[in-house]
Amino acid sequence: MNPSVTDADRAAAAATSARRAPPLEIHDMTVAYHRKPVLWDIDLVAPEGQLIGIVGPNGAGKSTLIKAVLGLAPLASGKVGIYGLPYSQQRHLVGYVPQRETVDWDFPVTALDVVMMGTYGRLGWFRRPGAAERRLAEECLEQVGMASYAHRQIQQLSGGQQQRIFLARALAQDAQVYFMDEPFAGVDAATEQAIVVLLQALRNSGKTVFVVHHELQTVRQYFDFVILLNLRLVAAGPTATTFTRANLQQTYGGRLTILDEAVEAVRLGEAPR
């Protein structure tokens, strides 16, 4: 047996499967904080090259879903695959926009500094960003219409502008799959439109974009595919067939099923006596 041939074969097979594997595949995932599950038994396969909305009521675990995929929330069980491989091997393919309130905007950095952070992952240990990274960051700022604010301290930007800086940082990550946690929160209508146009452009260039979204009215207009979430996966599929009254009712209330009650009991830590 010739080991080099096997290696080559394996590499080729991996490459093929990587091309075929979906951008996000979740199998039997449960996420728990302090041993209490906040997401329960999620099974999900998301299609490539679509704008995907993650929709559900407050506390449904929408952000947690993203965080669990990115390794920021502890998995109690289950598996997550990005193009068929664990996230830790696919970081370079993924861009991330956290919620705006998670950082201290008084931090002494400029808009350009923040956007350049998107390139840090590729740079690796110890290497400082150089002219190439700077140019890329400036281009990304340009794309979100913030080029003239490059040297502003980030506190001196409006909420919508801060959101666009975060978006530019994700663009600088130069990824295939993007996860965005409420990019429309606290943003004026004009900025929301600008962001939507940008997301559509990303989608049209073959990227897959996941967006945690609150406004039910705009879901049909914005997204090709929706993931309806309320502690469990309620439904996932093309918006036209999935974003239905019945599914929404199930997501946003209505009668509790036995399973829902069980989940709630575990969440509250109540044991039957």
> Using the rule CB under 8 A, is 244 a contact of other proteins?
no
Buried/exposed code over 116-134 (b: 16+ C-beta within 10 A; e: otherwise): bebbbeeeeeeeebeeebe
**In the complex with other proteins, which residue's Cβ is closer, 123 or 201?**
123
For residue 195, the one-letter residue type is I
User: By the 8 A CB rule, do 144 and 111 touch?
Assistant: no
Q: What is the distance between the alpha carbons of residues 224 and 61, in angstroms, rounded to a whole number?
A: 21
> Using the rule CB under 8 A, is 126 a contact of other proteins?
yes
Write down the least CB distance from residue 169 to other proteins, Å: 8
**In the complex with other proteins, which residue's Cβ is closer, 2 or 125?**
125
Write down the least CB distance from residue 123 to other proteins, Å: 7
Q: Tell me which of 44, 76, 109, 147 binds other proteins, using CB under 8 A.
A: 109
Collapsing DSSP states into helix, strand and coil, what is residue 269? Answer: coil
Q: What is the distance between the alpha carbons of residues 115 and 21, in angstroms, rounded to a whole number?
A: 30
Phi–psi pair at 68, nearest 5 degrees: -65, -40
Contact characters 62-101, other proteins, x per CB under 8 A: -----x--xxx---------------x--x--x-x-x---
Write down the least CB distance from residue 198 to other proteins, Å: 19
Nearest CA-CA partner of 51 in 241, 218, 242, 203: 203
> Using the rule CB under 8 A, is 102 a contact of other proteins?
yes
**In the complex with other proteins, which residue's Cβ is closer, 96 or 184?**
96
Write down the least CB distance from residue 98 to other proteins, Å: 5
Collapsing DSSP states into helix, strand and coil, what is residue 264? Answer: helix
> Using the rule CB under 8 A, is 120 a contact of other proteins?
yes
Q: Tell me which of 30, 110, 176, 200 binds other proteins, using CB under 8 A.
A: 110
Starting at the edge strand that comes first in sequence, how are the strands of the sheet with 208-213 ordered?
Answer: 94-97, 177-180, 208-213, 51-55, 225-230, 232-238
* List of residues contacting other proteins (CB under 8 A): 34, 67, 70-72, 88, 91, 94, 96, 98, 102-104, 107-110, 113-114, 117, 120-121, 123, 125-129, 153, 169, 173
